Amino acid sequence: MSDPLQLRLPPGDASDAPTTQLARRVFLSRATGVSLGALALGELLPTRGAHGSEGTPPNGAVAHSVLDSVRQHFAPTARRVIFLTQSGGPSQLELYDHKPGLAEWAGKELPESVRQGQRLTTMTASQKQLILPARSEFRQCGESGATVSDWLPQTQRVADELCFVKSMFTDQINHAPAMTRFLTGNQIPGRPSAGAWASYGLGSENRDLPDYLVLISKMQRPSDQPLYDHYWGSGFLPSRHQGVKLRNARDPVLYLRDPEGVPRELRQQMLAGLGELNTLRHQQTGDPEILTRIRQYELAFRMQTSVPDLMDLREESEATFRLYGPDSRRAGSYAANCILARRLAERGVRFIQLFHPDWDHHKHLASWCTARCRDTDQASAALITDLKQRGLLDDTLVIWGGEFGRGVAGQG
């Protein structure tokens, strides 16, 4: 059903060509005056305005929101999301989900009445399922009394700012399908990611930066598991809603820098001419991706100024670096990326996603898991504290989690 329709367009849509190939999605959009996706989303999401309140968005931005006219069930609080994605399956039993009753079952085989025929991976199918209690110690923290592992001493200090969700479930036993389901709602790639939906539904608060930015930790050793682009992809939504990856390199965004020897004025003229050609092509075909391309060229030109300013951490105070820890001075570290996440939040970026890999601990659980905790504990807690000090925590949703945790049986 993906073949284009042969359609004669009305005058003005294509001045010279009597017949133009028109994609079905474009035809339906023109025929109904609104996209089917916008109609469907309007039934699902509440809004009063693209920014949760009336008025002009900050930084002179124009919000591109499909939700402006949808009746709202309640006044939204969060204006942005920072998603601290821990890739590999951080063990909830060692970190947040205290199960003291497992101690009396230590070393015993997992009863079939508990497993109930659940699938096992090929890695563990031939092993005995021997119950392994938590390797860490826990303590109750703050006024809430939340139990948090001693492997996360800094997180313990901000426990009263946290909400622990212990009811999540997945039917995926392998990392990539589980992460795909976690971030897109389906284990098969091709659906929009959570950040893409936020961009599509809520628009932007900063015209000089993308709605959705992705930062990946630079690890001390190569990670065993890849991070696929579809984790932050736009799926069937326009491609401008996909996440833009900020790299820890000389060029944080690829192909953003002007070619050597090309003056900025000439580059601007080239982009203007390219925009005119793309506009003409859009008039002929009605392909919405051409409009996306035009916007992306314009955004890329503005990002030549906004991105270097964003990435320059020299203006951060010594107190900030002490708060986030010594690793925060190393470009590409999780701690440095947490500082960038706060800077992006200050600049009105709608969805900020950090990926920190290597939480896949089938063996050496105590040593490997504590290493990842050292990577992330201080910086994660510092981000909460920093946002609160700057008045941003009240309207920022910070999420920490991975595609799944571990079962009660050990594997090595």
What is the predicted pLDDT for the residue at 73? 74
Q: Which two tokens stand for residue 148?
A: 């948090």
What is the predicted pLDDT for the residue at 270? 85
Cβ atoms of residues 408 and 109 within 8 Å: no
CA distances from 7 to 1, 23, 284, 287, 389 (A): 16, 10, 12, 13, 58
Q: Which two tokens stand for residue 111?
A: 């009863």
Give the pLDDT band (50/70/90) at residue 304. confident
Cβ atoms of residues 37 and 288 within 8 Å: no
Cβ atoms of residues 340 and 308 within 8 Å: no
233-237, 244-248, 395-399: the lowest-pLDDT one: 244-248
The rounded distance, in Å, linking the Cα atoms of 241 and 233 is 8
Span 196-202, mean pLDDT? 94
Cβ atoms of residues 338 and 50 within 8 Å: no
pLDDT digits (tens, 9 = 90+) for 243-284: 999 987 777 887 777 788 888 888 888 888 988 999 999 899
pLDDT digits (tens, 9 = 90+) for 117-135: 777 666 666 667 788 889 9
What is the predicted pLDDT for the residue at 33? 46
Closest among 182, 152, 153, 184 to 170, alpha carbons compared:
182
Closest among 79, 366, 77 to 201, alpha carbons compared:
79
What is the predicted pLDDT for the residue at 132? 86
- Assign 304 to helix, strand or coil: helix
Cβ atoms of residues 224 and 218 within 8 Å: no
pLDDT digits (tens, 9 = 90+) for 34-76: 444 444 444 444 443 444 443 444 454 555 566 555 666 777 8
Q: Residue 176 CB: number of other CB atoms within 10 A?
A: 18
Compute the chain's Rg from CA coordinates: 24
The gap between the terminal CA atoms of the chain, to the nearest Å, is 49
Higher pLDDT, 221 or 198: 198
- Assign 354 to helix, strand or coil: strand
Q: Which two tokens stand for residue 237?
A: 């939504």
pLDDT digits (tens, 9 = 90+) for 124-172: 666 677 888 899 999 999 999 999 999 999 999 999 999 999 999 888 8
Closest among 92, 129, 124 to 107, alpha carbons compared:
129
What is the predicted pLDDT for the residue at 37? 43
pLDDT digits (tens, 9 = 90+) for 90-102: 999 999 999 999 9
The rounded distance, in Å, linking the Cα atoms of 253 and 257 is 8
What is the predicted pLDDT for the residue at 17? 45
Contacting residues for 326 by C-beta, under 8 A, at least 6 apart: none
Cβ atoms of residues 334 and 354 within 8 Å: yes
The rounded distance, in Å, linking the Cα atoms of 66 and 50 is 8
What is the predicted pLDDT for the residue at 3? 46
Cβ atoms of residues 109 and 379 within 8 Å: no
pLDDT digits (tens, 9 = 90+) for 306-326: 898 899 999 999 999 999 999
Does the structure show a pLDDT above 80 at 24?
no
61-75, 263-277, 333-347, 376-390: the lowest-pLDDT one: 61-75
- Percent of the chain having pLDDT more than 90? 50
Quote the strand ranges of 118-167, DSSP E.
138-141, 146-149
Q: Which residues pair with 81 in a beta bridge?
A: 351, 397
